[in-house]
Amino acid sequence: MPDARTIVTVSLNPAIDRVIEVENFALGEHQVGHEIMRIPGGKAVNVSRVLKALGVRSIATGFLGRDTRHEFDSVLSGHLVGDEFFLLPGRTRENITIADPKTNQETHIRNPGLTVDPRSLKRLATKLNLVCRQGHFVVFSGSLPPGVEGKDFVTLIDICRSAGAHVAVDTTGEALDAVADQPLWLVKPNAHELARLAGRELHGLDDELRAARELTKRVKIVLFTRGAQGAYLFTDRLALHARAEMDPARVRNTVGCGDVLLGAFLAGLWRGRAMPDAFADAVAAATASACIIAPAEFESQTVAEFRAALRVESLPPV
């Protein structure tokens, strides 16, 4: 077991994810909804949750609201997740997904989050300097909270890279713009985020795939996600597409599927799986996650089903 390496997940702006089911949801109407899920999350927290489900230990750090810290016990308790969070005054933000079981449509409402003060940001920087080592995987996943700017984000990443850690980034907006020219180990963009990284508008799949390949000039691994169309893996030697056929009626909630993809991929690499196999396993797990209403969760039997049906193809050279 390669336990000399550690996976560190960094949650600058975690969230409590609420899923409310409303039949025939319509804007501007008074409707009856049922809260069917309230779960601690945020993208990096979800990655630690996925690693925990797969039996892989991680260290989770970042910022949580002191008033709602207890709600994260389900993720942070036990020996598989090391709790290294810093507490801020107030409540961790809540994100709401309104799921319509009749139309299978989802509406997502996002809260900006707690403000991070300079002292707390400095404490996190010191923490990363202490825990990061050569060969560790460090995941920066999620949005920037108020008080953290793009330059601060780059500083945190530089601390980890200087220690010899492999830095994976899954973010958007200002944070993504800040790292667009950085020599990262891994990025996981969707189509919109890929266009921001490329610095230009992309026109269709072929243009997107060219942009993803171009990224490998400065990023070692590009995981490009396209929702129901599957995912792509690019390195300087690999160009793969993987997709599992799925009845749309089985989709319950797509929130967190990308976090499952990233977490399962890292778990595979941590265990020494060949990269194509880790990628295929991760796509199967992400597909299975869409079948469960809880974000970033999956059932092993469903993962096995999609893994058996998964189609992995090599893309032709350009």
Tokens 């039949």 belong to: 23
Q: Is residue 48 pLDDT above 90, yes or no? A: yes
Q: How far is CA 127 from CA 121, 135, 152, in A?
A: 10, 17, 15
Residue 193, domain member (yes or no): yes
Q: At what angle do helices 43-53 and 257-270 cross, to 10 degrees?
A: 50
- Tell me which residue range forms the domain holding 13: 7-314
Residue 2, domain member (yes or no): no
Q: What is the pLDDT of residues 54-99, one digit of tens each?
A: 999 999 999 999 999 999 999 998 899 999 999 999 999 998 989 8
List CB contacts of 7: < 8 A, sequence separation 6 or more: 51, 56, 57, 58, 59, 136, 137, 138, 139, 266, 270
User: Mean pLDDT throughout 201-210?
Assistant: 94
Residue 1, domain member (yes or no): no
The 3-state DSSP class for residue 147 equals coil
Q: How far is CA 211 from CA 4, 204, 216, 280, 313, in A?
A: 35, 11, 9, 22, 19
Return the higher-pLDDT residue of 2 and 252.
252
- Number of structural domains (the chain) is 1
The 3-state DSSP class for residue 54 equals coil
Q: What is the pLDDT of residues 152-196, one digit of tens each?
A: 999 999 999 999 999 999 999 999 999 999 999 999 999 999 999
When pLDDT is cut at 50, 70 and 90, the band that residue 1 belongs to is: very low
The 3-state DSSP class for residue 25 equals coil
Q: Where are the alpha helices (DSSP H) in 101-179?
A: 118-131, 150-162, 173-178
Residue 125, domain member (yes or no): yes
Q: Is residue 213 pLDDT above 70, yes or no? A: yes
Enter the pTM of the model: 0.92
List CB contacts of 286: < 8 A, sequence separation 6 or more: 231, 257, 258, 260, 261, 264
Residue 110, domain member (yes or no): yes
Q: Which two tokens stand for residue 22?
A: 């409303």
Q: What is the CATH number for 203?
A: 3.40.1190.20
User: Mean pLDDT throughout 142-147?
Assistant: 96
Residue 30, domain member (yes or no): yes
